[in-house]
Structures are given as C-alpha cells and as structure tokens.
A and B are shown apart, each in its own frame.
Chain A
Amino acid sequence: MTTTVADHHHDEVPKGITRWLFTTNHKDIGTLYLWFSFTMFLIGGAMALVIRAELFQPGLQVVDPHFYNQMVTVHALIMIFGAVMPGFVGFANWMIPMMIGAPDMALPRLNNWSFWLLPFATSLLILSLFVPGGGPAAGWTIYPPLSVQGGMGVDLTIFTIHILGMSSILGAINIIATIMNMRAPGMTLMKMPLFVWTWVITAFLLIAAMPVLAGAVTMLLTDRHFGTAFFDPAGGGDPVMFQHIFWFFGHPEVYILILPAFGIISQVIPTFARKPLFGYTSMVFAAAAIAFLSFIVWAHHMYTVGMPLSGELFFMYSTMLIAIPTGVKIFNWMATMWRGSMSFETPMLYAIATVALFTVGGLTGLMMAITPADFQYHDTYFIVAHFHYVIFCGSVLGMFAGVYYWLPKWTGHMYNETLGKWHFWLTIIAFNVTFFPQHFLGFAGMPRRIPDYALQFAEFNVVSSIGGFVLGYSQLILLVVVIKAIRGGKKASAEVWDNPEGLEWSVASPAPYHTFATAPEVR
C-alpha cells in the first residue's frame, strides 16, 4: 500500500500559542489531551511517592496523618479524572476520526472547550491543598459524614468534579456524534475497529454515570452549606445512601477507565500476531455486556454497610457474572495470539503485559466478589493491590501500548526501541514489586488509608516502597522516548508496522494536519 491521501492546499499548520488555545483540529486537541494526561500522571505519581515514602517504615517520618489522607485522596482523583480519563479522550481524538475515515470530530469547537475545562478543574483541585484546612482528606470516594467535616478544600473538590464531569460528558457527546455521523461510506458499525467500538460504549457509560456523580456531589455541597440533610442522620438523612449513589456512578466508572484500553490492545495484538482479531463480534458483545452489568453490581463496594441478606446475595451473583464476558475477552486475545507469528516490539510487550496482569487483577476481583470472604478483604491492602492491577495494568499499560503503537504515526519517527524496552521491563518489574506484596499485607490484616502501621507489616512495606520509587522514576523514560521521537529518529513509513489493519495506516506518517478531507472508500 502507498500513501493514498493527497494532501490538500489548505494543509497549513497555524503557529504559536494561539494554535493550541483556539485549535479545533482533532489531532492538536488529541495532543493537548495526551500531554495533559501525562503531566497529571507525573503529579499524581509524585503524590504516590509521598505515600510510599511515609509507608517505608512504621512510625511517622515524612508527613502528618492529615496531609497523608489528602495525598491518598488527591492521588486517586488526579489519576482517575486527570490522567486516565483525559488520556483515553486524547487517544479518541487522535485516532477515531482517522480510524473511521472522518476529516475531524463532529463538533470541533465543543472539542476545544471540553479540553480547556480540564486545566482549570485540576488547578482547583491542586489549589485545594493550599487552602486553610487543606485539601479533601476523606478518600476519593468522599463519603459523608467525614467529607462534610472537611474545610473549603472539599468545596473546591466538588467544583473540580463538576467541571471535570462536564468536560467528560461533552467529550463523550462529541465522540458519539462523530461515530454516528462521520463514518466514511462503507464503514458499517460491524466494520469499525474495536477501539472505536469500546469508545462508543465508554461514551454511553460516561453519559449515564457522570451526571449521577454530579448529582451526588451537589447534594453533598448543599448538605455542607445550605442546610439540606440528604446524608446527615441528624436531619433524617442517610450516609449510606451517598455510598449507593456514589457507587452507582463508581462501578461504571471502572469500566470507563478500562474499556478503551481493551480497545487499544485489540488493535495492537492482531498487528504483532500478524493474524486477525479472534472473535470480533463476541468482543463487541462482551464489551457491551460488561457495560450493562456494571450498572447492577455497585453495592459490592459496600458489603460491610449492613445490607439485607437478599441484597448481599444479589450483588454477589451479579458481580460474579461479570467474570464471564471479561473471561471471553481475555480468551479471545489469547486465541488471537495462538498460532500467530508474533514479534515483540514495545507495543506488543505492553499489550501482552496488559492481558496477563489484568488477568491477575480480574481474578482477585473474583475473590472479592464472594461476600463472606470480602468481609475480610474489604478496606485492606488486598483491595489496593487489586485495583492497581486493574487500573494500572489494565488502563495505564494499555495506554502505554497505544502510545508506542501510534507514536510513529503521530510524530513521523520511530521511537527508540531500546529505551522502550527499558521502560517496559522496569515498569513491569517495579510494578509487581510494588503491588504484589500488598496482596499479602491485605491478607495479614493491614487496613488501607493508614499512614502508620503495626510492626508485622514492616517488611512488605519496605519492598513495596522500593518498587514504588523505581516505578515512579521509570516513567521519565517514557518522557525521553516521546521527546526523542518528536525531535527526530528513523523516518516511519505510512504503514509503520508489518501490514497493520486500519485506515489510520493509509495516511502518511506523521499524519498530515488534515486527513480524509474527502472520505475514503471502505470495502
């Protein structure tokens, strides 16, 4: 295949800061999102290092307990709402129009707006750490009555969540409109790349879940300042109701964080296995089933609040059901690799690691679904280990796979494979050194969200902290890789890889500023 799309006369790239401020180009906005996400990843990571430094030894050495709680809270909020969600929106911006043969997103001006809301929102959140009383310290789940006790920082957090929620909703609307209206002729729904499919499902989840969170935090705000008593037992309210509403959002949120990563690795694995994706149709249906089930399992996050037996049984069974479509996805990826002709460039390494380590997180998730056992696991380090295997290994490693996979398409240069491999191996080893021991800490009885711990937990915490620091600093390699690829390096061909599937590989590398001004023909 040769470079097929002729660049048009209007392919002029605006210059200077205004290019980025006023841009409506999906590639520019995608780039902004990705840089923003990476910045937040480093800031959130720095907070994680504060946590790991404090936990290196028993006793209080680095921070006071109140600040520790703020770090725990803000680390989670930044990583979830600042790093992972915008990161995937960045991928969606860059790749979806190119994958479906569209010239741009359906609503380019809205697109600009939804990005520029983000820096304001996260600035508010970081600012909250410096106001009197400090930032939010009730965990990212901001359970009342504890969150009602907090200072102005909690209000700033609530506004942050409002703005971030608005940004994600606008992004989701834009993505749905793009996928519904902008597909090239012949690009039927069941011909769409899986990344596009997982994103459209994610976008619907966002639209259904984010407004509910907005409602919950609004109630929290009025409880704090306007005398309502939604969650205040003294006024006839119920703090547990917040948990129900929160997790009605919170569980779909987990799949918002993971489904686009499933999409990315479904693009990467076939390319490097040189074999088409196994079970495309069941992959689409499995993703949809996961999305649907995510709305009826929320209370498995709160088995210990004292639910009636029937509730506990219902949520246990429905949670176990999720294992089935998730299993289908994992087996399909394995079947894609089976009898392929695999090579192991960095994107493939990350994709395999995503499948393997996400499986670990999925299996521990199955253990936690079992209500009686979860009475032991709940709110311990076992949970911390579990969701880092799911969110870091699922979402973040999936994103890394995507970055290495498409970086040549974005920059026009091959990345440095040696550095990429270093980044991979350091990340994988350090991650497991950090988080695998936390399973044992949880079994042994170490509660989560504590700044200090009893002596029997000391050894594993040392190991975990050492791993954490290596993991944190290894991420700087990615920064170097990306900057080097932007500045130069081996020229990438249009196809980049060995006969990859997808329209994005039919345009030149780097992708021209405007692609598919005339829609391609899809057969």
Chain B
Amino acid sequence: MSKSSRQKSNRRVVGWLSLWVLGMFGFGYALVPLYDIFCEITGLNGKSATLSEVSAKPLEIDRSRTVTVEFAVDVSGIPWRVDRPEIVRLKVHPGEATTVTYAAHSLTDSRSAGQAVPSVSPARAARHFRKTECFCFTRQELAPRESKVMPVTFVVDPALPEEVKTITLSYAVYPAKNIVPANS
C-alpha cells in the first residue's frame, strides 16, 4: 500500500470507529428508555402500570378467585408519618375496583412537600396491578402539622398469573423535587 492510500484508509477506519464510539455512548443513554420498556413488559422491579394505561372499559370480575393485597409504606428524608390503610391485608377479587386510604401527617411546623414512589411485589404481578387513582409521583403539600388522607383505587387484572396469591403494594415517600415518572 502506498503512503497516501494508507493514510486515506486510516482516516476511514478512524471515522467509522469514532462513529461507533459515539453510537455506543448514545446506546448507554438509550438503555434508559429501553430498560423502562423492558421493566414494564416483565414487571421487573415492581414498576406497576400507570394511570394513563388503564383502559376505560371495566374488567370482568372473577369471583371464583381471591387475591390478598398487602399495603406497606416507608418514609425517608422528610418529617412525615404516613399511616398505611387500616386493613393491612385485604382480600379482593380480580377485576374488582377497591379503594384504600393512606394518611400522611406532617410532624413539622413548616410547610413541607413530599411525593410517593410505588412498588409492587412480586415483580410478575406488577403489570397486572392497576391503579386507577393514586397519589404516586404527584407533589403532596402539607401545611404545618396537617394531616391528609390519600386514597388509592386499584384493580387486579384477572390476567394475573394463577400462582400469585399475594401482592404487596409499597410506597416510598420522599421529599418532593422535580419529578419525572419512570415510565412516562
């Protein structure tokens, strides 16, 4: 190979490889939405279906089957106490809409704002657990020492795998900041 043609060919190799490097850097970022889609399909990490996705048409109620739903909550980084629903374990029929209420109490003398992040376990139940009303991912403001009732309405999809008998809905409550829902 002559010197100039070798230089040209070097330049071509460098060009292609640099493009590839940029592409892989972009791919790293592309993994973020890809991961969310993947999570939603597989229910990985208990990301549950969001409000927008829930179809308007009512689901058929399957009275032959009962599923136990448990409610949990964790508060971190904010001076609130959040009470979980009175009934910790609730038996529901798939397809039946149920409302339970959490209650948040501000323990501080100033205004405060928090937000709740939901998680559902087991993972394979997550996408069959549909919340039609939820305080998740929205800013909740409390006046000093205020208490507030936060309802959640949910439906368990009858398509829930047969072997799942218990589902846990857990909220993690954090101080509010600009929030981007994970699967918007």
Q: Is the CB of A212 within 8 A of B25?
A: yes
Query: Chain A nearest CB: distance from B37 CB in Å?
Result: 12
Report the count of interface residues on A (CB-CB < 8 A): 41
CA of A354 to CA of B6, assembled, Å: 38
Q: Is the CB of A173 within 8 A of B13?
A: yes
Q: Is the CB of A248 within 8 A of B21?
A: no
Q: Is the CB of B13 within 8 A of A176?
A: yes
A16 within 8 Å of B by Cβ? no
CA of A208 to CA of B21, assembled, Å: 7
A207 within 8 Å of B by Cβ? yes
A215 with B28: in contact, given A107-B10, A173-B13 (CB under 8 Å)?
A: yes
Q: Is the CB of B24 within 8 A of A245?
A: no
B residues near A163, Cβ cutoff 8 Å: none
A180 within 8 Å of B by Cβ? yes
B18 within 8 Å of A by Cβ? yes
Q: Is the CB of B123 within 8 A of A306?
A: yes
B residues near A237, Cβ cutoff 8 Å: 180, 182
Q: Which of A173, A214, A233, A244 contacts B17 (CB 8 A)?
A: A173
Q: Interface SS of chain A: helix, strand, loop or mixed?
A: helix
CA of A172 to CA of B21, assembled, Å: 11
Query: A464-489 vs B: 1/0 string, CB under 8 Å?
Result: 00000000000000000000000000
Q: Is the CB of A236 within 8 A of B137?
A: yes
Q: Is the CB of B172 within 8 A of A308?
A: no
B residues near A311, Cβ cutoff 8 Å: 42, 44
Q: Which residues of chain B in 18-59 are interfacial with respect to chain A, using CB atoms and an 8 Å cutoff?
A: 18, 20-29, 31-32, 35, 39, 42-45, 47
CA of A181 to CA of B23, assembled, Å: 23
B residues near A306, Cβ cutoff 8 Å: 45, 123
Q: Is the CB of B10 within 8 A of A211?
A: no
Q: Is the CB of A207 within 8 A of B45?
A: no
Which of A208, A230, A236 neighbours the largest number of chain B CB atoms within 10 Å of its CB? A236
Kindly report which residue of chain B lies nearest to residue A231, judged by CB atoms. B32
Give the number of A-B contacts (CB < 8 Å).
117
Query: Chain B nearest CB: distance from A253 CB in Å?
Result: 13
Report the count of interface residues on B (CB-CB < 8 A): 42
CA of A234 to CA of B21, assembled, Å: 32
Query: Chain A nearest CB: distance from B32 CB in Å?
Result: 6
List 7 A-B residue pairs with CB atoms under 8 Å apart, sorted by A's residue number.
Answer: A173-B14, A211-B22, A211-B27, A211-B28, A215-B27, A235-B177, A244-B31
B residues near A208, Cβ cutoff 8 Å: 20, 24
B residues near A230, Cβ cutoff 8 Å: 32
A residues near B10, Cβ cutoff 8 Å: 106-107, 177, 181
Which of B9, B32, B115 neighbours the largest number of chain A CB atoms within 10 Å of its CB? B32
CA of A310 to CA of B124, assembled, Å: 10
A240 within 8 Å of B by Cβ? yes
Kindly report which residue of chain A lies nearest to residue B6, judged by CB atoms. A181
CA of A234 to CA of B31, assembled, Å: 20
Q: Which of A180, A182, A227, A310 contacts B42 (CB 8 A)?
A: A310
Query: Chain A nearest CB: distance from B115 CB in Å?
Result: 7
Q: Is the CB of A235 within 8 A of B9?
A: no
A residues near B179, Cβ cutoff 8 Å: 229, 234-236
Q: Is the CB of B21 within 8 A of A207?
A: yes
Q: Is the CB of B21 within 8 A of A233?
A: no
Nearest 4 CB-CB pairings of A with B: A215-B28, A234-B174, A211-B24, A211-B25
Kindly report which residue of chain A lies nearest to residue B17, judged by CB atoms. A173
